Structure formats: C-alpha cells, structure tokens
Structure 1
Amino acid sequence: MNYCIEELSQLSGSAAGIYTIRIEGEDKTEFSKFIENHKEQYKDEIKDIVARLKIMGKEEGAREHYFKDKEGCAG
C-alpha cells in the first residue's frame, strides 16, 4: 500500500505541523474519512479533537501530555 503524507494547513501553525495520510488512489485523506465517519455519532468529540489539534498546531505545539507513552505497538 502506497500513501503520501499531507499537512493539514488549517490546523498547522507556527507551533507544530499537523499531518494526515492519503492512500494512493483515494480522494480523501484518512483524517477526512475519520471525521466523515464519526461526525454524526460523536459530534462533540470530533469538535474537541479538531480544537485540540488546532491548539497544538497554532499555540502549544505537540507537548508530551497530549500523547500516551508506551501504549500500543509499533508497526
């Protein structure tokens, strides 16, 4: 599977760049698909996610407290 990394310019700013991926051959990014798939059922949560990403990009940067360390598994 090939993909490209794209900056979300509406969320990025001087504090951090916010990125998503687009799978080759698809029109929408994974971020756009996530928003579209969940906006009706999780409207408030989606607004919160977008607001936090905007704060990260434009004001605070990608601070450690935004991430869960040592969770999940690599690739």
Structure 2
Amino acid sequence: MKKNLLIELLETGEKVSLYSPRFEGEEFTEFEKFLLTYKDSYTKDVQILIRRLDIIKEMGAEDRFFRYEGSKQDRVMALPLEKKKIITIIGTNLNGPLEITINTDN
C-alpha cells in the first residue's frame, strides 16, 4: 500500500526553518517519532541534537556545523559526531615521587 509523503514545518528560526517528513495518516512526523522513541533512553544525546539544531536555526546552515558524507560535490552532509576524549592515566611510585603520564586520543 502506497502512502503519500508530506513535508511539514516543525519550527522557524531566525535563519533556518526545520521540516520533517510525515506519512499521510500518521499523527507524528518522522522527527517527532524519533524524539519520542529515544528521548528517555538517550536523553543526553537527544539534548545535544536539539541544541545543535537550535544553533543552526539561529545562525544558519553553515558548512562548519556539518560533516561531509561522501564527496563534497554530492553536498550530502550530516551533523558531526560528538567529540570524545579518551584519557588514560598511568601512575608509578617505584623510586621517588609519583609520576603520571596522561595520554589523550581524539
């Protein structure tokens, strides 16, 4: 069974408006369904996503807010992955004061 796909306005910002697809007969848009599905189990990640979208609405959809997926010619882009630092602390106290080495990987 075919369903018509509608594009609905979610929010209007200063420089960008956000839209989401909604299948005809469905109560929620695909973005709203995503939020409802993941808001409780991935609260922090959903908050990060909402904050990034708020920044884009306010400042515009500039390239610096996205990362390329594929070639630059395709202009297929996604929100960047959250940068995480992995910190390893190694300590020794064999002959004198404690020496600590900190390695950070991005």
Q: Same fold (TM over 0.5)?
A: yes
Query: Any runs of at least 4 consecutive aligned residues in structure 1 with deviations exceeding 6 A, and if so which?
Result: none
Q: Which has the higher contact order (CA 8 A, sep 6+)?
A: 1
Partner of 1:8 in structure 2?
A: 10
Deviations 1:2-57 (A, max 9, x none): 11111112xx2121111111111100110110001111111001011111111111
- Structure number with the higher strand fraction is 2
The sequence identity of aligned pairs, in percent, is 35
Q: TM-score under structure 1 normalisation?
A: 0.79
Q: CA RMSD in A?
A: 1.9
Q: How many residues align?
A: 70
Q: Which of the two has higher C-alpha Rg?
A: 2
Question: What is the TM-score when the length of structure 2 is the normalising length?
Answer: 0.58
Which stretches in structure 2 are left out of the alignment for 5+ residues?
A: 77-106
Structure richer in helix, relative to its length? 1
